[in-house]
Structure 1
């Protein structure tokens, strides 16, 4: 007879964050499908929309992605005509990334879809619970960043 106490993954923050993220992302993905862009690509394009001329490193930091992933996403956005890269003004070794008119138009059409997906998440909790959730997620994010930097 096995007397080991089972570890309950449903009480694991990492497991629950992962499963919840995948469900929210799948919802947004299904809504973005007609626009032929993924949530991952959308988040990068949105940052470029907010501040045209960012360098790739800044985009990676603002989206929480590593540099190789950011580069791959930018390659896709450029191929789709949504963004462009040009030699940086401050550093010729880096590229500034700009949004095209087509990219700006896509963001304006799809931002309501992201906002609606967020409202769907909020629909299962009170305003106070949502604010607490966001504060806790930010705290976890900063804490895990500190741990990763030490390792």
Structure 2
């Protein structure tokens, strides 16, 4: 593991992201959910009845990936699509009762995984780390839009 200590921040973030994702996926496996599917369910729990484009933005996924995730969640009967009253060409996505129950079951699993991952980290350091990550995102977004 010492070999990773001196690698670039991008490499370290990538490795850490993949390990976190794998760790959480192990915890969600008992519900047959992936972290990506869970992220969509959480966004719908926050605001039900949003469109695919909004879900993609809120989960930081591209639209084709979001469409695939939504197809799986539809097959599992965790979400449903309804025609928008405002625009008959558009669909809004809603959690089903089964989807709501799955989301409520998954939340403690993810929370426990996060608790284990963050064990031993000072809350002030964790807050600083989040601020640094947000600053990096802001810097990247500014560079992309210029």
Please give the TM-score of this superposition, normalised by the length of structure 2.
0.90
Match of 1:51? Answer: 47
Equivalent-residue separation in structure 1 for 2:89 and 2:142 (angstroms): 29
Give the match for residue 39 of structure 1: 35
Q: CA deviation at 1:144?
A: 1.9
Query: Cα deviation per residue 1:3-59 (whole Å; 9 max; x = unaligned)?
Result: xxxxx8843111111100111111110011111110011101111111110111111
CA contact (8 A) 1:56 1:94 kept: no
Q: TM-score, normalised by structure 1?
A: 0.88
C-alpha RMSD of matched pairs (Å)? 1.6
Counterpart-to-counterpart distance in 1, 2:10 and 2:86: 39
Across the two proteins, how many residue pairs are aligned to each other?
A: 143
Aligned partner (choices 104, 110, 113) of residue 109 of structure 2:
113
Deviation at 1:86, TM superposition (A): 1.3
Residue aligning to 1:19 = 15
**Separation in structure 1 between the aligned mates of residue 53 and residue 71 of structure 2, nearest angstrom:** 15
Question: Match for 2:94 among 92, 98, 107?
Answer: 98
Which residue of 55, 67, 75 corresponds with 2:71?
75
Q: Secondary structure at the match of 1:130?
A: helix
Gaps of 5+ in 2: none
Please say which structure displays the higher CA radius of gyration: 1
Structure 1 residue runs of 4 or more that deviate by more than 6 Å after TM superposition: none
